[in-house]
Amino acid sequence: MPGAGLSAAEDAVRLAAGGPPSWVAGRLASRTGRSRAGLELATRAWRWGGAAALAVLEEAWTPDEEALARAAARLAGAWEDGERPELSRSGACWTVAGAEAQLRLGEDGRWWPYRRTGGVWSPAGPADRDPATALTMATADAERED
């Protein structure tokens, strides 16, 4: 059954991701306490990775020391010496200095690419176990549409 195991808010995003008529999307947004722009952002995340991608968009978390150590190791090994971009971390988000790109670490250890567009961080592609691959998605010149 579609939507089984999802919260009402997750199911509304799932339904909106299917491209319903505008009036239906408006009702879904209002029933979940989201603006239309908020619902569009949530559906973008959903299209890239379902409930897991939506959680990365909406649920802030701070990795524990063990998860941070694993993340640091993944980041250190993802680029050749001297090629790693300068990253600053806040919680589970690593933002590239001087760029409109960000990596978000999901609780499952996958890296999600984000791009800052119009002042808002937006999902820019599917998750990847390799942070360099995810960052490539976030820094790609062409706007990606699912």
Confirm if 13 and 42 have CB atoms less than 8 A apart. yes
- State the pLDDT confidence band at 144, using cuts at 50, 70 and 90: very low
* pTM for the predicted model, two decimal places: 0.86
Is the four-CA dihedral 54, 56, 57, 61 of positive or negative sign? Answer: positive
Which parts of the chain fold into alpha helices (H)?
8-17, 22-31, 36-58, 65-78, 131-139
**How far apart are the C-alpha atoms of 65 and 106, rounded to whole Å?**
15
- State the pLDDT confidence band at 3, using cuts at 50, 70 and 90: low
